[in-house]
Structure 1
Amino acid sequence: MATRTRRPERREEPLSRQRIVEAAIGLLDTAGEGALTFRALAERLATGPGAIYWHVTGKDELLNAATDAVIATMTSDTTSTAGTAAATPQEAIRTLALGVFDAIDAHPWIGTQLARAPSQSPLLRVFEHLGRHIQTLGVPHPAQFTAASALLNYILGVGGQNAANARGHHPHTSRTELLNTTASAWADLDPDEYPFTRNVADQLRDHDDRTEFLAGLDLILTGITTRQNTTDPAHP
């Protein structure tokens, strides 16, 4: 009688902090922060909650680690960009800012996490790299904190608002339909009370969020460099 050859059992990838963080990011992206529980995460990883606690002490640490994992990619990209001969500090800042903007758009929960924990590493990564580029621009030391803070607040504010607008869309209403409806409402406002808003209604209808974000960023960068030149004794 022929013996049956046993098929080797498939070995599962061992549980690690990286696997846990990656699974948490997937859960946060699909269901939001409210759905991130260790029980739900354990089901996704086919393990027990106790095994996860071996690597992560709690939800706050897990949220911070998930945010840091996404943001670390943005800052490492701009570090390599800034090291190239063709890159300028302005270009490096634009790359970093747009990376964070896109990250918040793709992972809306990140904006909340960055604003919630200003002393933790994800936000500090962004602030640190903005500050380095500000230094490279030659901004005087007394103005460096203000310049970096203005850029950071703009990035987080506009990025977070863009993500909130996207989440607030009715699932059966496209962005184009929403903008058309809003622009039409603006155009119908009282001309004496809202003359400016009526005048830019068509620009709202046709605008691109990423393009407007970069345009606003360039206004801030222009202000930083202009102020630097007017206060630098070498530029009377």
Structure 2
Amino acid sequence: MSAASTSSRDRIIEASIAILDGSGEDGLTFRALSERLATGPGAIYWHVPNKGDLLTAACDAIIARAMNAPLVGATPQAIIRTLALGMFDAIDAHPWVGSALTRAPGQLPMVRILERIGRQVSALGVPDEEQWATVGALLNYILGVGAQNAANGQLGRTRGIDRSDFLDAVATTWSQLDPDAYAFTRSMAAHLRGHDDRRDFLAGIDLILSGIEASRRL
């Protein structure tokens, strides 16, 4: 592919990302893209044949940025935490990425994540026969929690809900639950008001990493 062709494809992908961020998947059409780029649909089809491939290419561009963080000299644990948080932030900033990943199993966006996380799991000394399950647990947690967080944020923005007001209302409701039937939930009411989503996410990563370390000592 020539430099000019690569540049044109990159422009198409960046324009697609902007449309997806602003209008979601429904807003990404070749017509909207043509208007944004001031070009004909044929020029776009030459680089990307259909909307599915366009969505995957846009997703891959976001994932590549998140996975390419420079982490020279860091421990495998630190790298996993950084990559996981990078993915969490990327999905939060681009809510469509979560669903785009589920539509591209085995393709480059997922392969990038698998490779980068997998290398760190291997570096942690996880036995070969346990690496697939270990990487799967990390990926399921990262992508699942990241997508849910992004969905919550998007729902709040769509409905004009203030996060602090929402959490305060839920905490108030929890604090009034029956103390015998809902003892734990009631005890969490005070924590709910001020909890930090990113910090809670990293706490889950640390629990998984602690489990990996503990299993190696058995």
Q: Same fold (TM over 0.5)?
A: yes
User: What SS does structure 2 have at the residue aligned with 1:32?
Assistant: helix
1:194 corresponding residue in structure 2: 182
Asked whether 1:104 is paired with 2:96, we answer no
Pair 1:151 & 2:150 matched? no
- Secondary structure, counterpart of 1:173 in structure 2: coil
One-letter amino acid of the structure 1 residue matched with residue 129 of structure 2: P
Separation in structure 2 between the aligned mates of residue 167 and residue 190 of structure 1, nearest angstrom: 32
User: Could you tell me which residue of structure 2 aligns to residue 164 of structure 1?
Assistant: 151
* C-alpha displacement of 1:44: 0.6
Which letter maps to 2:31?
A: R
- Kindly report which structure 2 residues correspond to 1:80-99, keeping only aligned pairs within 5 A, or say none: 80-81=70-71, 84-85=72-73, 87-99=74-86
CA distance in 1, matches of 2:21, 2:129: 40
- Structure 1 Cα separation of the partners of residues 216 and 101 of structure 2: 29
CA contact (8 A) 1:115 1:156 kept: no
Deviation at residue 174 of structure 1 after TM alignment:
1.4
| Cα separation, 2, equivalents of 1:189 and 1:121 | 47
| Residue equivalent to 2:53 | 61
State the superposition RMSD in angstroms.
1.4
- Counterpart selection for 2:68 from 53, 76, 84: 76
Question: What TM-score does the superposition give when structure 2 sets the normalisation length?
Answer: 0.94
Deviation beyond 6 Å, 4+ runs, structure 1: none
1:171 Cα deviation from its structure 2 partner: 4.3
In structure 2, the partner of 1:234 is none
Query: Whose Rg is larger?
Result: 1
Fraction of identical pairs, as percent: 56
For the 8 Å contact 1:187–1:198, the answer to whether it is kept is yes
Q: Provide the C-alpha distance between the structure 2 equivalents of 1:57 and 1:116, rounded to a whole number of angstroms.
A: 16
Higher relative contact order (CA closer than 8 Å, sequence separation 6+): 2
Scaled by the length of structure 1, the TM-score of the pair is 0.87
Cα shift readout 1:195-216 (whole Å, capped 9, x = no counterpart) = 1111101111110000000011
The whole-number CA distance in structure 1 between the counterparts of 2:176 and 2:38 is 56
For structure 2, the 5+ residue unaligned runs are none
Amino acid at match of 2:57: A
Larger mean CA deviation between 135-144 and 188-197 belongs to 188-197
| Matched residue SS, 1:16 | helix
Say whether the 8 Å CA contact 1:111–1:159 is kept in structure 2. yes
Q: What is the alpha-carbon distance in structure 1 between the residues aligned to residue 174 and residue 99 of structure 2?
A: 29
1:174 aligns with 2:153: no
Q: Deviations over 1:168-210 (max 9, x none)?
A: 1154321111111111111122222211111101111110000
> Which deviates more, 208-217 or 166-175?
166-175
1:122 maps to 2:109: yes
Which digits, 9 at most, give the CA deviation of each residue in 1:153-175, with x for residues without a partner? 00001100100100111543211
